[in-house]
Amino acid sequence: MSRLKRADRPYDIVLFGATGFVGTLTAEYLAAHAPDDLSWAVAGRSEEKLERLRERLGEKVGVLRADVSDPASLRALAEHARVVATTVGPYVSYGEELVAACADTGADYLDLTGEPEFVDLMYVRHDARARETGARLLHACGFDSVPHDLGVFFTVRQLPEDVPLTVDGFVSVDAAFSGGTFASALGQFARGRQMLAAARERGRHEPRLMGRRAAAPVGAPRFAPEVGAWALPLPTIDPQIVLRSARALPRYGPDFRYRHYAAVRRLPVAVGGVAAVGTLAAAAQLPPARRWLSDRLKPGEGPSAQKRARSWFSVRFVGEGGGRRVYTEVAGGDPGYDETAKMFAEAALALACDDLPPTAGQVTTAAAMGEALTGRLTRAGVGFRVAARR
């Protein structure tokens, strides 16, 4: 549970960006699933949109106005909450002041970023202050990177202790994305140099792991008979998050290695996917092409409820160590929005309500709440299972 007591702050949870696409889904999830005695509020920049949202959610929900361009409003927001959950991205453009305010006031913080540059800079600039105040700073609490982080946590726990472990993750999805996600992805493609610089800066600050080893090397493209699919290395934020969990948790053993892949059944689809991502990444380097692309899908827009109902994800893991091999899977519905809102809301509820291991500073979901969040998500319909051998 948050170190702050309930009486310390007016709200247990404040959801910032509640009027956006994922924000609204998260607010609806909280309205349907939060315990009756939880006090929570929606926050955003438009009073009118917030009031309209509150009318749908019910009178019990509070409303706070805050704008990224007004740091005092973000400070006030952090001072009103034990847990602050924010969907206001791209985080590298909009996110830092709120992380700083939470670290400084001791409020727990969680977001939906998939931007490694942002996470590395927040570590360098705010981890130390958060450790002093006891604030827990959790990034990537949606499809990036919860199923991968908790899937590896779940897989490791099926394997023997105190032996070298290797885990490979294979991601399959069928889904569409929203304007907010598209804007964040385009922004990231255009910031390769800044991303590398932030990673180097983090490397200079982060203490070395003593007496154990953990690595997340980029695998080679290959046909993977263990999952019956083509495996393409997937350089998202997920393997970085898994690696940080492995560094934080001795249960991952003395020598841990994780490789992260997209799994694609047919070779032409794999080749087409790589070409499409390459073209998008190249176009994002040119400002006019980037502007044209971002006009295709506007912020606030996203896949319809019907499209989301047909969407799914599956992440299969193959873990090995101490002479054992296990096959596991984490699976669910629409990854980017319905399941992201569920993962995000349940992570916020875990911070606010559950008895969690003592952590502070920048932490991952596995390290801060691995068992509690796996239990919550299982009860909410996300499948965590040990699979039979293929």
Ligand X SMILES: NC(=O)c1ccc[n+]([C@@H]2O[C@H](COP(=O)([O-])OP(=O)(O)OC[C@H]3O[C@@H](n4cnc5c(N)ncnc54)[C@H](OP(=O)(O)O)[C@@H]3O)[C@@H](O)[C@H]2O)c1
Q: Which residues bind ligand X (CB under 6 A)?
A: 17, 19-23, 44-46, 49, 67-69, 87-90, 94, 112, 114, 140, 142-144, 178-181, 184, 299-300, 302, 336, 340
- Burial tier of 21 (Cβ tally within 10 Å: 0-12, 13-18, 19+): buried
Apex CA 186: angle with CA 74 and CA 278, to 5°?
155
Nearer to ligand X, 62 or 300 (CB): 300
Alpha-helical segments (H) within 255-337: 267-283, 287-296, 305-310
Q: How far is the CB of 166 from ligand X (least distance, A)?
A: 26
Q: How far is the CB of 152 from ligand X (least distance, A)?
A: 17
Q: How far is the CB of 115 from ligand X (least distance, A)?
A: 8
Count Cβ neighbours within 10 Å for each residue of 338-349 and write b for 16 or more, e otherwise. bbbbbbbbbbbb
Q: Is the Cα torsion angle 93, 97, 98, 99 positive or negative in sign?
A: positive
Q: How far is the CB of 26 from ligand X (least distance, A)?
A: 9
Nearer to ligand X, 52 or 205 (CB): 52
Q: How far is the CB of 148 from ligand X (least distance, A)?
A: 11
In sequence order, the 6+-apart residues with CB closer than 8 A to the CB of 248 are 359, 363, 364, 366, 367
**Cα(154)–Cα(161) distance, rounded to whole angstroms?**
13
Number of CB atoms found within 10 A of residue 181's CB: 25
Nearer to ligand X, 20 or 321 (CB): 20
**Cα(275)–Cα(272) distance, rounded to whole angstroms?**
5
Nearer to ligand X, 112 or 369 (CB): 112
- DSSP type of residue 250: G
Nearer to ligand X, 253 or 302 (CB): 302
Distances (CA, A) of 57 to 51, 60, 344: 10, 8, 18
Q: How far is the CB of 225 from ligand X (least distance, A)?
A: 29
Closest CA to 340 of 96, 94, 120, 85: 85
Cβ atoms 99, 127 nearer than 8 A: no
Closest CA to 348 of 60, 141, 205, 127: 141
Q: How far is the CB of 267 from ligand X (least distance, A)?
A: 27
**Cα(16)–Cα(90) distance, rounded to whole angstroms?**
14
Nearer to ligand X, 219 or 302 (CB): 302
Q: How far is the CB of 215 from ligand X (least distance, A)?
A: 24
Nearer to ligand X, 106 or 180 (CB): 180
Nearer to ligand X, 155 or 181 (CB): 181
Q: How far is the CB of 17 from ligand X (least distance, A)?
A: 4
Nearer to ligand X, 85 or 229 (CB): 85
At 146, the amino acid letter reads V
Nearer to ligand X, 115 or 327 (CB): 115
Beta-strand runs (E) in 126-207: 136-138, 165-174
Q: How far is the CB of 145 from ligand X (least distance, A)?
A: 7
Closest CA to 83 of 384, 354, 371, 351: 351
Number of CB atoms found within 10 A of residue 220's CB: 10
